[in-house]
Structure 1
Protein backbone atom coordinates (compact mmCIF):
# COMPACT_ATOMS: atom_id res chain seq x y z
CA UNK A 1 0.00 0.00 0.00
CA UNK A 2 1.18 3.49 -0.79
CA UNK A 3 2.35 5.26 2.36
CA UNK A 4 0.27 8.30 1.38
CA UNK A 5 -2.92 6.28 0.95
CA UNK A 6 -5.55 6.72 3.61
CA UNK A 7 -7.89 3.97 4.61
CA UNK A 8 -11.43 5.27 4.84
CA UNK A 9 -13.04 4.10 8.05
CA UNK A 10 -16.81 3.69 7.70
CA UNK A 11 -19.09 5.29 10.23
CA UNK A 12 -20.93 3.04 12.65
CA UNK A 13 -24.06 3.84 10.65
CA UNK A 14 -22.46 2.68 7.40
CA UNK A 15 -20.94 -0.41 8.99
CA UNK A 16 -24.32 -1.36 10.47
CA UNK A 17 -25.96 -1.38 7.04
CA UNK A 18 -27.74 1.95 6.77
CA UNK A 19 -31.22 3.15 7.60
CA UNK A 20 -33.01 0.03 6.38
CA UNK A 21 -31.10 -2.01 8.96
CA UNK A 22 -31.77 0.48 11.79
CA UNK A 23 -35.49 0.57 10.98
CA UNK A 24 -35.75 -3.23 10.81
CA UNK A 25 -33.93 -3.44 14.16
CA UNK A 26 -36.19 -1.01 16.00
CA UNK A 27 -39.38 -2.30 14.36
CA UNK A 28 -38.68 -5.84 15.55
CA UNK A 29 -37.44 -4.64 18.92
CA UNK A 30 -40.63 -2.71 19.70
CA UNK A 31 -42.75 -5.67 18.58
CA UNK A 32 -40.85 -7.80 21.09
CA UNK A 33 -41.10 -5.15 23.83
CA UNK A 34 -44.87 -5.01 23.42
CA UNK A 35 -45.00 -8.75 24.25
CA UNK A 36 -42.70 -8.57 27.28
CA UNK A 37 -44.47 -8.43 30.65
CA UNK A 38 -41.85 -6.17 32.26
CA UNK A 39 -41.47 -3.79 29.33
CA UNK A 40 -44.93 -3.60 27.74
CA UNK A 41 -46.34 -1.22 30.37
CA UNK A 42 -43.53 1.27 29.69
CA UNK A 43 -44.26 1.40 25.97
CA UNK A 44 -48.03 0.88 25.84
CA UNK A 45 -48.81 4.53 25.13
CA UNK A 46 -46.10 5.07 22.51
CA UNK A 47 -47.10 6.33 19.10
CA UNK A 48 -47.12 4.03 16.11
CA UNK A 49 -44.11 5.99 14.80
CA UNK A 50 -42.01 5.48 17.94
CA UNK A 51 -39.85 2.68 16.53
CA UNK A 52 -39.09 4.72 13.41
CA UNK A 53 -38.14 7.80 15.47
CA UNK A 54 -35.79 5.71 17.61
CA UNK A 55 -34.20 4.22 14.47
CA UNK A 56 -33.62 7.71 13.09
CA UNK A 57 -32.25 8.92 16.43
CA UNK A 58 -29.74 6.08 16.84
CA UNK A 59 -28.77 6.26 13.16
CA UNK A 60 -27.99 9.95 13.55
CA UNK A 61 -25.98 9.32 16.73
CA UNK A 62 -23.97 6.76 14.71
CA UNK A 63 -23.20 9.42 12.05
CA UNK A 64 -26.07 8.65 9.73
CA UNK A 65 -28.53 11.12 8.19
CA UNK A 66 -29.80 13.94 10.40
CA UNK A 67 -33.42 12.93 9.84
CA UNK A 68 -34.24 12.93 13.53
CA UNK A 69 -32.86 16.35 14.42
CA UNK A 70 -34.01 18.07 11.24
CA UNK A 71 -37.50 16.55 10.99
CA UNK A 72 -38.52 14.79 14.18
CA UNK A 73 -37.01 16.33 17.30
CA UNK A 74 -33.86 17.03 19.24
CA UNK A 75 -31.78 15.40 21.93
CA UNK A 76 -33.59 17.63 24.43
CA UNK A 77 -36.94 16.28 23.24
CA UNK A 78 -35.68 12.69 23.42
CA UNK A 79 -34.64 13.30 27.03
CA UNK A 80 -38.11 14.67 27.77
CA UNK A 81 -39.77 11.49 26.52
CA UNK A 82 -38.29 9.75 29.57
CA UNK A 83 -39.27 12.30 32.23
CA UNK A 84 -41.60 10.86 34.84
CA UNK A 85 -41.47 7.29 33.49
CA UNK A 86 -39.86 5.95 36.71
CA UNK A 87 -37.77 3.36 34.88
CA UNK A 88 -36.15 0.70 37.04
CA UNK A 89 -32.77 -0.96 36.76
CA UNK A 90 -34.54 -4.25 36.01
CA UNK A 91 -36.35 -2.61 33.10
CA UNK A 92 -33.12 -1.07 31.84
CA UNK A 93 -31.36 -4.41 31.92
CA UNK A 94 -34.26 -6.13 30.15
CA UNK A 95 -34.25 -3.36 27.53
CA UNK A 96 -30.53 -3.89 26.94
CA UNK A 97 -30.97 -7.67 26.66
CA UNK A 98 -33.88 -7.40 24.25
CA UNK A 99 -32.31 -4.77 22.02
CA UNK A 100 -29.03 -6.69 21.77
CA UNK A 101 -30.84 -9.94 21.05
CA UNK A 102 -32.84 -8.16 18.35
CA UNK A 103 -29.60 -6.78 16.91
CA UNK A 104 -28.47 -10.38 16.49
CA UNK A 105 -31.74 -11.43 14.86
CA UNK A 106 -31.71 -8.62 12.26
CA UNK A 107 -28.04 -9.21 11.52
CA UNK A 108 -26.34 -6.10 12.82
CA UNK A 109 -22.58 -6.65 12.60
CA UNK A 110 -21.24 -8.87 15.36
CA UNK A 111 -17.56 -8.02 15.13
CA UNK A 112 -16.06 -7.02 18.49
CA UNK A 113 -15.33 -3.44 17.45
CA UNK A 114 -18.86 -2.65 16.31
CA UNK A 115 -20.45 -4.42 19.26
CA UNK A 116 -18.16 -2.59 21.68
CA UNK A 117 -19.34 0.75 20.29
CA UNK A 118 -22.98 -0.40 20.16
CA UNK A 119 -23.02 -1.70 23.72
CA UNK A 120 -21.19 1.39 24.94
CA UNK A 121 -23.84 3.66 23.45
CA UNK A 122 -26.78 1.54 24.61
CA UNK A 123 -25.42 1.38 28.15
CA UNK A 124 -24.80 5.13 28.22
CA UNK A 125 -28.18 6.00 26.71
CA UNK A 126 -30.20 3.58 28.83
CA UNK A 127 -28.56 4.77 32.04
CA UNK A 128 -29.26 8.37 31.05
CA UNK A 129 -32.90 7.42 30.39
CA UNK A 130 -33.23 5.89 33.87
CA UNK A 131 -31.71 8.99 35.49
CA UNK A 132 -34.04 11.29 33.55
CA UNK A 133 -37.08 9.15 34.36
CA UNK A 134 -36.90 9.74 38.12
CA UNK A 135 -39.41 11.92 39.94
CA UNK A 136 -38.39 15.52 40.21
CA UNK A 137 -35.83 15.50 37.41
CA UNK A 138 -36.11 18.60 35.29
CA UNK A 139 -33.99 18.83 32.20
CA UNK A 140 -33.19 22.41 31.33
CA UNK A 141 -30.72 21.68 28.55
CA UNK A 142 -32.84 22.86 25.64
CA UNK A 143 -29.68 23.34 23.60
CA UNK A 144 -28.20 19.93 24.46
CA UNK A 145 -26.34 18.79 21.36
CA UNK A 146 -27.21 15.59 19.59
CA UNK A 147 -24.80 12.96 20.89
CA UNK A 148 -22.48 11.32 18.40
CA UNK A 149 -20.82 7.96 18.77
CA UNK A 150 -17.82 6.51 17.02
CA UNK A 151 -15.47 3.58 17.07
CA UNK A 152 -13.83 4.62 20.33
CA UNK A 153 -10.65 2.86 21.31
CA UNK A 154 -10.76 0.41 18.42
CA UNK A 155 -10.47 3.08 15.75
CA UNK A 156 -12.57 1.15 13.25
CA UNK A 157 -14.00 -2.23 12.33
CA UNK A 158 -11.98 -5.40 12.44
CA UNK A 159 -11.12 -6.44 8.93
CA UNK A 160 -9.12 -9.68 8.78
Structure 2
Protein backbone atom coordinates (compact mmCIF):
# COMPACT_ATOMS: atom_id res chain seq x y z
CA UNK A 1 0.00 0.00 0.00
CA UNK A 2 1.49 3.30 -1.00
CA UNK A 3 -0.66 5.52 1.21
CA UNK A 4 -0.64 5.48 4.98
CA UNK A 5 -3.57 4.29 7.02
CA UNK A 6 -3.94 7.90 8.15
CA UNK A 7 -4.26 9.12 4.55
CA UNK A 8 -6.57 6.31 3.46
CA UNK A 9 -8.90 6.97 6.40
CA UNK A 10 -9.17 10.67 5.52
CA UNK A 11 -6.56 12.44 7.63
CA UNK A 12 -7.08 14.32 10.86
CA UNK A 13 -10.76 15.16 10.22
CA UNK A 14 -11.49 11.44 9.90
CA UNK A 15 -9.66 10.58 13.12
CA UNK A 16 -11.42 13.33 15.03
CA UNK A 17 -14.76 12.07 13.70
CA UNK A 18 -13.77 8.52 14.66
CA UNK A 19 -12.81 9.61 18.18
CA UNK A 20 -16.12 11.49 18.58
CA UNK A 21 -18.15 8.55 17.30
CA UNK A 22 -16.21 6.09 19.45
CA UNK A 23 -16.68 8.22 22.54
CA UNK A 24 -20.43 8.42 21.88
CA UNK A 25 -20.64 4.65 21.45
CA UNK A 26 -18.68 4.07 24.67
CA UNK A 27 -21.02 6.40 26.54
CA UNK A 28 -23.99 4.43 25.19
CA UNK A 29 -22.52 1.07 26.27
CA UNK A 30 -23.84 0.02 29.72
CA UNK A 31 -20.43 -1.33 30.79
CA UNK A 32 -18.08 1.15 29.12
CA UNK A 33 -19.96 4.31 30.00
CA UNK A 34 -18.53 4.71 33.51
CA UNK A 35 -14.89 5.40 32.53
CA UNK A 36 -16.10 7.76 29.81
CA UNK A 37 -18.62 9.74 31.84
CA UNK A 38 -16.85 10.64 35.09
CA UNK A 39 -16.17 14.24 36.07
CA UNK A 40 -12.39 13.80 35.94
CA UNK A 41 -12.34 13.07 32.20
CA UNK A 42 -10.19 15.57 30.35
CA UNK A 43 -12.46 17.93 28.37
CA UNK A 44 -10.04 17.56 25.45
CA UNK A 45 -10.16 13.74 25.62
CA UNK A 46 -11.77 13.25 22.22
CA UNK A 47 -9.32 15.57 20.44
CA UNK A 48 -6.36 13.92 22.18
CA UNK A 49 -7.64 10.47 21.32
CA UNK A 50 -8.05 11.43 17.66
CA UNK A 51 -4.52 12.88 17.60
CA UNK A 52 -3.12 9.74 19.25
CA UNK A 53 -4.77 7.34 16.80
CA UNK A 54 -3.80 9.57 13.88
CA UNK A 55 -0.13 9.60 14.89
CA UNK A 56 0.06 5.86 15.53
CA UNK A 57 -1.57 5.18 12.15
CA UNK A 58 0.75 7.33 10.06
CA UNK A 59 -0.27 10.91 10.76
CA UNK A 60 1.65 13.85 12.15
CA UNK A 61 3.35 13.65 15.58
CA UNK A 62 0.86 16.04 17.19
CA UNK A 63 0.17 13.84 20.20
CA UNK A 64 3.77 13.05 21.09
CA UNK A 65 4.97 16.61 20.51
CA UNK A 66 2.23 18.19 22.61
CA UNK A 67 0.95 15.57 25.04
CA UNK A 68 3.53 12.91 25.87
CA UNK A 69 4.71 9.50 24.89
CA UNK A 70 3.19 6.05 24.82
CA UNK A 71 4.22 5.36 28.44
CA UNK A 72 1.90 8.13 29.62
CA UNK A 73 -1.00 6.57 27.72
CA UNK A 74 -0.31 3.10 29.13
CA UNK A 75 0.01 4.41 32.68
CA UNK A 76 -3.32 6.22 32.39
CA UNK A 77 -5.08 3.02 31.29
CA UNK A 78 -3.33 0.40 33.46
CA UNK A 79 -4.19 -0.82 36.92
CA UNK A 80 -7.89 -1.35 36.35
CA UNK A 81 -8.01 -5.08 37.05
CA UNK A 82 -9.39 -7.62 34.60
CA UNK A 83 -10.95 -5.50 31.89
CA UNK A 84 -10.87 -8.07 29.09
CA UNK A 85 -14.63 -7.80 28.54
CA UNK A 86 -14.33 -4.01 28.48
CA UNK A 87 -11.55 -4.43 25.94
CA UNK A 88 -13.79 -6.47 23.66
CA UNK A 89 -16.54 -3.88 24.03
CA UNK A 90 -14.05 -1.09 23.33
CA UNK A 91 -12.94 -2.80 20.10
CA UNK A 92 -16.56 -3.35 19.05
CA UNK A 93 -17.38 0.31 19.65
CA UNK A 94 -14.29 1.32 17.64
CA UNK A 95 -15.24 -0.88 14.69
CA UNK A 96 -18.83 0.39 14.71
CA UNK A 97 -17.66 4.00 15.16
CA UNK A 98 -15.78 3.74 11.84
CA UNK A 99 -19.21 3.52 10.16
CA UNK A 100 -20.62 6.35 12.25
CA UNK A 101 -17.64 8.55 11.35
CA UNK A 102 -18.05 7.84 7.64
CA UNK A 103 -14.62 6.27 7.17
CA UNK A 104 -14.12 4.63 3.78
CA UNK A 105 -15.62 1.17 3.51
CA UNK A 106 -12.32 -0.13 2.15
CA UNK A 107 -11.96 -3.73 3.47
CA UNK A 108 -8.17 -3.44 3.89
CA UNK A 109 -8.55 -0.23 5.87
CA UNK A 110 -11.29 -1.64 8.09
CA UNK A 111 -9.37 -4.88 8.75
CA UNK A 112 -6.23 -2.92 9.61
CA UNK A 113 -8.08 -0.59 11.96
CA UNK A 114 -9.63 -3.57 13.78
CA UNK A 115 -6.27 -5.35 14.02
CA UNK A 116 -4.67 -2.19 15.38
CA UNK A 117 -7.32 -1.73 18.06
CA UNK A 118 -7.15 -5.37 19.13
CA UNK A 119 -3.37 -4.97 19.47
CA UNK A 120 -3.76 -1.69 21.36
CA UNK A 121 -6.17 -3.21 23.87
CA UNK A 122 -3.81 -6.14 24.41
CA UNK A 123 -0.93 -3.69 24.89
CA UNK A 124 -2.86 -1.89 27.64
CA UNK A 125 -3.80 -5.18 29.33
CA UNK A 126 -0.12 -6.21 29.57
CA UNK A 127 0.43 -3.68 32.36
CA UNK A 128 -1.30 -4.47 35.64
CA UNK A 129 -0.14 -1.35 37.47
CA UNK A 130 0.93 2.11 36.29
CA UNK A 131 4.30 1.66 37.97
CA UNK A 132 4.93 -1.43 35.81
CA UNK A 133 5.00 0.67 32.64
CA UNK A 134 8.57 1.47 31.55
CA UNK A 135 9.45 5.14 31.29
CA UNK A 136 9.72 7.01 28.01
CA UNK A 137 8.13 4.50 25.66
CA UNK A 138 8.08 5.90 22.16
CA UNK A 139 4.87 6.07 20.22
CA UNK A 140 3.94 2.85 18.49
CA UNK A 141 3.58 2.92 14.73
CA UNK A 142 1.10 0.73 12.95
CA UNK A 143 1.26 -0.06 9.25
CA UNK A 144 -0.72 -2.09 6.77
CA UNK A 145 1.13 -5.22 7.91
CA UNK A 146 0.74 -4.60 11.63
CA UNK A 147 3.03 -3.13 14.24
CA UNK A 148 5.99 -1.25 12.81
CA UNK A 149 8.97 0.06 14.70
CA UNK A 150 8.45 2.44 17.57
CA UNK A 151 9.94 5.86 16.99
The TM-score range, normalised by the shorter chain, is 0.7 to 0.9
Identify which of 68, 76, 87 aligns with 2:71: 76
Matched, 1:148 2:141: yes
Aligned to 2:149: none
Deviation of 1:44 (Å): 2.7
- Structure 2 residue 36 is matched with structure 1 residue 28: no
Unaligned runs of 5+ in 2: 147-151
- SS across alignment from 2:77: coil
Q: Give the TM-score of the pair, scaled to structure 2.
A: 0.86
Number of the residue aligned with 1:43: 36
C-alpha separation in 2, matches of 1:110 and 1:139: 38
Aligned length: 144
CA RMSD, Structure 1 to Structure 2 (Å): 1.8
List per-residue Cα deviations over 1:88-131 (Å, max 9, x = no partner): 22111111111110101212122222122211110000112223
Distance 2:94 2:60 in 1: 21
TM-score, normalised with respect to structure 1: 0.82
Residues 43-101 of structure 1: per-residue CA shift (max 9 Å, x gap): 23321211111110110011101100000121110111112222522111111111110
